[in-house]
Amino acid sequence: MKTLFLILLFLFGMTFTAAAQSAKADSVYDSADSIVVIANRYSVSLRNVAYGYQVIPAERIKKLATHSALEMVDIEFPSAYVMEKKVIGYGVGPQGSGQLYLRGLGGQPNTGVLVLLNGHPDFMGIFGHPLPDVYGADDVQQVEILSGASSTVFGGNAMGGVVNIVTQPDYNRLMRLSMTGGSFGTYDYGLNLSKQFGAHGLYLTARSQQTDGHIAQSGFKALRLQGGWAWQFTPEWNLSVSGRWVPYSFDDPSRGQEDPAGLGTYAKIERGTGEIKLDNRHKNWQGTTQLYANFGYHRFYDGFKSNDFSYGLSSYQFWNYSDRLQFAGGIDVLYYGGQAKNPFAKLPWGAPVVKEDKKAYQSLGAYLLGFYQPARFLQIKAGLRYQTLTSFSSRVSPLAVVTLQPAQSYSIYAAYKSGFRFPTMRELYLFPSANEALKEESVQTYEAGLTYTLNKTTRLRVAFYRNQVDNIIQLVPATPPNQFQNSGAATQTGIESQIQFQPFGHWKVQLSYAYLNPDDLTAYNPKHQVKYMAGRSWKSFSVILYGKYVQDLYALNNHQKPLPDYFLLNAAFNYSFRQFGLSLKLLNILDRSYLVSSGYSAPRFHILAGIDFEL
């Protein structure tokens, strides 16, 4: 605790000194001048966002991400924790990583934070979790993070928040060829092609990644192929088609010497996604209609095999009725499920452990959101969603927010938000632990916060929140086999804070602190997180120093399996010369030894160096 106190004292001392210096040099900045679009769904001025919201641009993703855009959520967002075990790659299954937690909610697998791909849900049809190894970092225009219960607009799984990965090729270049190599036999090769032909645009991306891993049996190998076509057939309407295919494999020390299926690695995965999207952008109304699909084939070393799918339709619109009144609404239709088997796993009486029938579920949801500004200093936002899952259950999810702006430079808000998630096929049917009588998990969040915008480079936001989580789905010890039950509740409280400022010349600094009392939901929900980033550019050269300090981390709920505190320092250097670019990443510079799960050490100091060529 003493270490944490000293770190916080230094960071916030630096912060207020810098803010005071900036105040002398800059005039007050009106945040109403900045309009943001929240996860493709609606537009709002920056001063009225009224929750933890952050956009990570493509430039920073390119400089910092090593293998996935999801890394940026952990690097940048105060309350986010993303479990990473490998040099590159996450993996899936019981020993996979990539679990994402926001404000104390997420889960193993992650079904409590919703990941969107271009505004639509993206998840595995059987287990209900996102697939971070599929996303990569190519053609990512930005990553949006929205923390706190968000089911009113985004539906199921948005209990802890939403991450939206927005992809868009860079048509300003015809070709980009990149090569990266580094420690532990890590290699990365990529080719990006993009071209506009009048109102049409085409792009194709291919990337190969592999590593031997930092310890025995921790390798990863992936191939990503993605491409698309876009047609701007009128100034207001745009049609696009895109898809990706990602086969990958990974190993894990937990496999030991067992390999009855003869696969030779922990798992081999094949995933595909596709979407058809129609965007409309008119003066007073805008929106999107999407048809999308996600499917995959998984094979694990113990003989487990699965085929899963999810197909969906999303249509949502934002209507600017007047300067004081706006509406947002939409519908979501989902059809998902899959089939699995494991011929090697039998119950004592000979029946298979994995139920082999194909299962499918249908979900339908609709929402309406209203924004009303009776005075310049006051905005009221309210909304409601109705969601149903097959004939299983239905849910109503309300939202209410009041935002006050006493002065141009700052705003305060109070909010009530709600979230939920329906049980997955794994919890309802697949294994002996399944329980068809499960009810949906739910969370009610009460939040208050402050946003202070001094100028274009200095911004502070602080949020205080309380989560009331009910009907928690978890395995309850009983006569074997253990069974999933809605057992108990949790009350979580937390603080989320971040400041961005420019203290010395052209150095840009971002400091974040998150406090969380997770109740009994302690698995990968650290009590304290301090994150920092400082960057500077000199014409064609840039440097970014970044890292975090994590305290009071556990590998399991109920304060079981505590993990040591750790501090990380990383650096990224980039240099461009004509069509060439050089990059160097120094990761875990202090060579810290730390655990990300019990008995599994994280990578120590390692290097990644790369070169790219653009036309």
Question: pLDDT tens digit string along 172-194?
Answer: 899 999 999 999 999 999 999 99
Render 584-612 in DSSP notation, one character per residue: EEEESTT----EEETTEEPP-SEEEEEEE
Model confidence at 45, pLDDT cuts 50, 70, 90, reads low
Model confidence at 14, pLDDT cuts 50, 70, 90, reads very low
Mean pLDDT confidence for 397-406: 95
CA distance 382 to 32: 20
Render 174-200 in DSSP notation, one character per residue: SEEEEEEEEGGGEEEEEEEEEEEETTE
Least confident stretch, 236-240, 304-308, 456-460: 456-460
The pLDDT, as a whole number, for residue 46 is 54
The pLDDT, as a whole number, for residue 512 is 97
Model confidence at 597, pLDDT cuts 50, 70, 90, reads confident
Residue 447 reports pLDDT greater than 70 = yes
Q: How many CB atoms lie within 10 A of CB 14?
A: 17
**Who's near 212: CB < 8 A, 6+ residues apart?**
184, 185, 186, 219
Residue 536 reports pLDDT greater than 90 = yes
CA distance 574 to 296: 36
Mean pLDDT confidence for 63-85: 93
Which domain does 210 fall in, by range?
A: 2-614
Dihedrals phi, psi of 388, to nearest 5 degrees: -135, 145
Mean pLDDT confidence for 373-380: 93
Model confidence at 349, pLDDT cuts 50, 70, 90, reads confident
Task: Classify 302 as helix, strand or coil.
Answer: coil
Mean pLDDT confidence for 536-565: 94
Task: Classify 331 as helix, strand or coil.
Answer: strand
Mean pLDDT confidence for 210-237: 94
Mean pLDDT confidence for 70-89: 93
Least confident stretch, 38-42, 202-206, 302-306, 597-601: 38-42
Model confidence at 265, pLDDT cuts 50, 70, 90, reads confident
Question: pLDDT tens digit string along 466-520?
Answer: 999 999 998 887 667 788 999 889 999 999 999 999 887 789 999 999 999 999 9
Residue 109 reports pLDDT greater than 90 = no
State the sign of the Cα–Cα–Cα–Cα dihedral 275, 276, 282, 287: negative
> Residue 353 to residues 288, 350, 449: CA-CA distances in angstroms?
43, 9, 49
The pLDDT, as a whole number, for residue 35 is 55
CA-wise closest residue to 402 among 417, 413, 410, 394? 413
* Percent of the chain surpassing pLDDT 70: 90
Residue 8 reports pLDDT greater than 70 = no
Model confidence at 522, pLDDT cuts 50, 70, 90, reads very high
Mean pLDDT confidence for 400-425: 93
- Whether the CB-CB separation of 325 and 413 falls below 8 Å is answered with no
The pLDDT, as a whole number, for residue 47 is 53
Task: Give the count of domains, the chain.
Answer: 1
- Whether the CB-CB separation of 25 and 32 falls below 8 Å is answered with no
CA distance 81 to 530: 11
Q: What is the CATH number of the domain that holds 489?
A: 2.40.170.20
Residue 363 reports pLDDT greater than 90 = yes
Residue 5 reports pLDDT greater than 60 = no
Residue 9 reports pLDDT greater than 50 = no
The pLDDT, as a whole number, for residue 40 is 67
Residue 281 reports pLDDT greater than 50 = yes
The pLDDT, as a whole number, for residue 103 is 95
The pLDDT, as a whole number, for residue 509 is 95
Residue 285 reports pLDDT greater than 80 = yes
- Whether the CB-CB separation of 91 and 77 falls below 8 Å is answered with no
> Residue 307 to residues 15, 296, 402: CA-CA distances in angstroms?
51, 6, 45
Residue 108 reports pLDDT greater than 90 = no
Annotate 166-200 with b (16+ C-beta within 10 A) or e (fewer): bbbbeeeeeebebebebbbebbbebebbbeeeeee
Question: pLDDT tens digit string along 124-154?
Answer: 999 999 988 999 999 999 999 999 999 999 9
Residue 27 reports pLDDT greater than 50 = no
